[in-house]
């Protein structure tokens, strides 16, 4: 059986398109998760008492560590990198859009989460809430909530930018 070079090119384009399509879906899901959190969970938790807020965030921080979250959090990086590799020898502008999307997602979303939100979550998890008095809870909540929400806004913006750049790469 002889495979015609035209068929190899079609298979290669199909594989390249599949990786880019999956990257866009995953970046979009990640951006959507962060955006939805910003407009639903954050306003909802702002209405909770200090103790309830911190208990809720401890619970959420444990529950979110699951395979579905890991797929939409780390998956974009993997599929964006592979898409960059496929685009490298081909379309110059698409390659650079995907490189910027990858860097944006890596540093603005994964980096901010790893170096900002996760350490704050670890500090919250280390607290023995039952031993804290109301003043301590109020002070920690203010520190945690202000910093966590600021960092969350940053990663939301960067994930949306990465998504937009990825879609633009697809459209070109």
134 CB-near residues (< 8 Å, 6+ apart): 50
pLDDT at 9 over 90: no
pTM of the model: 0.89
Q: Residue 40's pLDDT is what?
A: 97
pLDDT tens per residue across span 69-119: 999 999 999 999 999 998 887 768 999 999 999 999 999 999 999 999 999
pLDDT tens per residue across span 30-73: 999 999 999 999 999 999 999 999 999 999 999 999 999 999 99
- Sketch the domain layout of the chain as residue ranges: 5-171
CB atoms within 10 A of CB 17: 13
118-136 in b/e burial notation, b at 16+ Cβ within 10 A? Answer: eebbeebeeeeeeebeeee
Chain CA centroid to CA 105, Å: 7
């Amino acid at each position: 059986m002889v495979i015609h070079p035209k068929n190899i090119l079609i298979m290669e384009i199909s594989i390249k398109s599949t990786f880019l399509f999956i990257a866009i879906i995953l970046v979009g899901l990640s951006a959507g998760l962060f955006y939805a959190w910003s407009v639903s969970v954050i306003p909802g938790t702002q209405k909770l008492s200090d103790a309830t807020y911190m208990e809720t965030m401890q619970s959420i921080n444990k529950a979110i560590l699951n395979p579905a979250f890991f797929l939409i959090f780390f998956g974009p990086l993997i599929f964006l990198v592979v898409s960059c590799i496929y685009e490298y020898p081909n379309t110059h502008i698409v390659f650079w859009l995907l490189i910027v999307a990858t860097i944006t997602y890596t540093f603005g979303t994964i980096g901010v989460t790893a170096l900002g939100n996760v350490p704050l979550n670890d500090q919250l998890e280390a607290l023995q809430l039952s031993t804290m008095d109301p003043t301590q809870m109020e002070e920690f909540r203010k520190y945690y909530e202000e910093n966590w929400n600021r960092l969350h806004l940053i990663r939301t913006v960067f994930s949306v930018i990465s998504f937009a750049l990825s879609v633009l790469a697809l459209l070109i």
